[in-house]
Amino acid sequence: MKQKKIDKTPARLDFTQSVTGLILAIFISAHILFESSILISNEAMYKVTIMFEGYYFFGETYPGIITFFAAAISVIFVVHAAIAVRKFPNNYKQHKVMREHVLRMKHEDTSLWIIQITTGFIMFFIGSVHLYIMMAEPSNIGPFASSFRVVHEHMGPLYFLLLLSVVSHAFIGLYRLAMKWGFMEGKNTKVSRARFKFLMKTMIVIYIIVGSLSLAQYTYIGLTHDFSEVKKYKSKIIDLRAH
């Protein structure tokens, strides 16, 4: 008798989602640390910026590297989100069943999954705005350019929401990945699950604190540095619309 062929597409999609998620989680963990160099000094943040622009390799800065990097991250970001969309509860009935399930079971892992969906949804919009700006204005990164964007281009509140979403999403994602790939199957699954959960929560708290402190520092620089020349230049560009 002829055997029915197994459709491997769902397994492949699942694997792609895990791998893209892992890459993005590693990226964001490093991103927030590099960017927190502003907490050391303006000079330190500037050095990190030109390092990514290839200065220590080529002897000159090439902001195009940032555009390329941001484009690559965007592709991974879109692939990851596109695969995730198929898991969203996509009608009212499904949503109701899921809500009742969460309320009745008080199952923490299901609640984590709901946080994943919600934060993922938020990031889909805010993350895209941020990635586009990084791609379009790669030379406008640095202690003062970034602070100007945070304060005078009003990106601060958006970044704070993005920070809360991305940090929760990344570490809950890593926890779920560790569970999926069998890292919690020791002698005592319950104990190892509790340990991983503790680690996940600790990392979320640490990263939110570090990210918020950096954001506070960018805000402080944005508010105290003299940007009057930049503002004059920008208002000239805006004036051009009247002619």
- Binding site residues, ligand HEM, CB under 6 A: 28, 31-32, 35, 66, 69-70, 73, 77, 123, 127, 130-131, 134, 141, 146, 149-150, 155, 159, 162-163, 166, 211, 214-215
Q: Which is nearer to ligand HEM, 82 or 97 (CB)?
A: 82
Q: How far is the CB of 165 from ligand HEM (least distance, A)?
A: 8
Q: Which two tokens stand for residue 181?
A: 């790939």
Comparing CB distances to ligand HEM, the nearer of 193 and 217 is: 217
Write the single-letter amino acid at 164.
L
Comparing CB distances to ligand HEM, the nearer of 84 and 184 is 84
Residue 30 has φ and ψ, to the nearest 5°, of: -75, -40
Report which residue's Cβ sits closest to ligand HEM: 146
Please report where in the chains the tokens 């190892």 appear, as a residue. 192
HSE (side-chain half, CA atoms, 13 Å) at 98: 17
Contacts of 167 (CB under 8 A, 6+ apart): 28, 32, 204, 207, 208, 211
CB of 112 vs ligand HEM, minimal distance in Å = 19
Minimum distance of ligand HEM from residue 29's CB (angstroms): 11
Scan for tokens 């490093």, then name that residue.
Answer: 30
Identity (one letter) of the amino acid at 112? L
Q: Considering beta carbons, is residue 134 or 221 the nearer one to ligand HEM? A: 134
